[in-house]
Amino acid sequence: MKITFILPAIGKKPGKKYIGTWKMEPLTIAVLKALTPDDIETELFDDRTELIDYDTKTDLVCITVETYTAKRSYRIAEKFRERGIPVVMGGYHTTLCPEEAVLYCDSVIVGNAETVWNDMLDDLKNGSLKKVYRGGIGEYDIQPDKSIFEGKNYLPVSLVETGRGCCHSCEFCSISKFYCSKYYSRDHGLIVDDIKKSKHRYTFLVDDNLVADRRNAISLFEDITPLNIKWAGQGTLSMAKDENLLRTMKKSGCEIILIGFESLNKANLEQMNKSFNYAIGERDELVKRIHDAGIGIYATFVFGYDNDDERTVNDALEFAKKHNFYTAAFNHLLPFPNTALYDRLKADNRLIYDKWWLADGYNYGELAFEPKLVSAEKMSRLCRDARKEFSSAKTVLSRGFASLGRTSPLMWGLFWGMNLRLGEEVDQKMNVPIGENLDELPK
């Protein structure tokens, strides 16, 4: 028996290159590979960087589906199903809206695969595949099998999970919906073992909020300190309130932490249910503490909330420049299906597309709803212009020199290449047609 795994791309512009900074190893596939019994042959097509062989001899196609990749996943599935090959789907999108995904495949796994993967494979062998399998959430003691990445030429960074979910309930967030606002920590012995087995010294701890459980975070950082790795991760600004946490984090090899500031506007933070983090007046001091601890910040902002206009985008840009962040993202708000944000915008009749992820002509970078104070087009342009300005040579230069000494010399060296490349990619990413150009050869 053979299983073909597919990681779909968002879409491709005709004749254009794949965007390099996204070329990370897909950890999801390594987990599914590890769950698969050894006597089953496996292969992986990473649609972001290679052509899918639709004629491959296989017994089952498994596609991991995010909302941005849903349209393309359904198109890929159709091609295999025309040949009579069953297709199973799982991931964030299918968990958020299984009723849609079942229309395009033979079977959907809702939630995590760990508890139902082998039942699904048994049913397949017996010819009794069910339409929907409901996996648990948060139970995982499996070690990813990264042998499936051999020959794929990904960025030299190992992705490692230290937990799943998050205890908060931000209005726009798919994670809080998927994990019902709960955090599930992973056994530290497994994490240490996972890191030891990883090929690269640089590690991305993929959890969405590493510091969700502060005591667990401190003990984890102590446990990974002897491994002598350098890592980046994601967390909330409130981490800076605890100096011991920051110290332990740095000591364990933390170089960069991604912080979702989202907005500088108090009313926006309240509307998105993310005002739990800190009092507005503390923000600058908390940023300073993280920098003083020797950790660089990847700051992310989101625009489109009801108090956002040209001024609030500009305020965020100036704030990011003032603090000389290692890097930053200026994203527009996007209503992911089944989130509280989606339901609110739909109830207010503000969605431009009912299902933007399937809509004809919907492109990456476009807003899918009408913001209150500026038009959808204008908000998209404001975000693009903020990215351009933040990655302009002048801003990169000033941020680069301010970062000197803040991170290790190697991360400082990487700063230049990464930031200049991000600048180059701003317009390459804009307007990628979602789901389109399936047979376009990656370059």
| Interface residues toward ligand SF4, by CB under 6 A | 166, 168-170, 173, 175-176, 208-209, 236, 260, 274
User: In the bound complex, what is the minimum distance in angstroms from residue 42's beta carbon to ligand SF4?
Assistant: 31
Q: Which does 64 bind (CB under 5 to 8 A by kind): ligand B12, ligand SF4, none?
A: ligand B12
Greatest CA separation for the chain = 63
For the CA atoms of 30, 31, 33, 39, the dihedral, rounded to the nearest 10 degrees, stands at: 140
Which residue's CB is nearer to ligand SF4, number 211 or number 382?
Answer: 211
User: Any contact of residue 300 with ligand B12 (CB under 6 A)?
Assistant: no
Nearest to 288 by CA among 244, 246, 255: 246
When the beta carbons of 22 and 416 are compared against ligand B12, the nearer one is: 22
> What does 194 interact with, of ligand SF4, ligand B12, none (CB < 5 to 8 A by kind)?
none
DSSP strand pairing (183-185 vs 132-134): unpaired
**Per rule CB under 6 A, is residue 89 in the interface with ligand B12?**
yes
DSSP of 115-144, one letter per residue?
TTHHHHHHHHHTT---SEEE--SS---PPP
Among the listed ranges 37-45, 167-175, 264-272, 287-295, the one in contact with ligand B12 (CB under 6 A) is 167-175
Q: Does 26 bind ligand B12 (CB under 6 A)?
A: yes
Collapsed DSSP state (helix, strand, coil) of residue 303: strand
36 binds, among ligand B12, ligand SF4, none (CB under 5 to 8 A by kind): none
Look at strands 183-185 and 163-165 and give their pairing. antiparallel
How many residues at the interface with ligand B12, by CB under 6 A? Answer: 36
Residues 248, 237: Cα–Cα separation, whole Å: 16
* Closer CB to ligand B12, 144 or 371, in the complex: 144
Counting contacts by CB under 6 A, is residue 64 touching ligand B12?
yes
Nearer to ligand SF4 by Cβ, of 206 and 293: the residue is 206
Which one of ligand SF4, ligand B12, none interacts with residue 113, CB within 5 to 8 A by kind?
ligand B12
**179 touches 166 (CB < 8 A):** yes
Contacted entry of ligand SF4, ligand B12, none for residue 166, CB cut-off 5 to 8 Å set by kind: ligand SF4
Q: How far apart are CA 422 and CA 172, in angstroms?
A: 25
320-359: contacts with ligand B12 (CB under 6 A): 331, 336
Residue with smaller CB distance to ligand B12, 47 or 289: 47
β-bridge partners, 234: 258
CB of 32 to ligand B12, least distance (A): 6
Nearer to ligand B12, 112 or 395 (CB): 112
The least CB distance from residue 209 to ligand B12, in Å, is 9
User: What number of other Cβ atoms are within 10 A of residue 349's Cβ?
Assistant: 8
Tell which one of 4, 73, 112, 403 touches ligand B12 (CB under 6 A): 112
Q: Which amino acid is at 219?
A: S
Q: Which stretch binds ligand B12 (CB under 6 A): 36-44, 87-95, 213-221, 295-303?
A: 87-95
Pure H helices in 65-206: 70-82, 92-96, 98-101, 117-125, 174-178, 188-197
Contacts by 126-133, CB closer than 8 A, 24 or more apart: 129/86, 129/88, 131/102, 131/106, 131/107, 132/98, 132/102, 132/107, 132/108, 133/107, 133/108, 133/109
Closest approach, Cβ 120 to ligand B12, in A, equals 7
How far is it, in rounded angstroms, from Cα 4 to Cα 211?
A: 36
The yes or no reply on residue 174 touching ligand B12 (CB under 6 A) is yes
Is 43 or 242 the residue whose CB approaches ligand SF4 more closely?
242
Neighbours of 126 (CB within 10 A): 8
Chain residues binding ligand B12 by CB under 6 A are 7, 10, 22, 24, 26-28, 31-32, 62-64, 66-69, 88-93, 96, 109, 112-114, 159, 161, 173-175, 206, 208, 331, 336
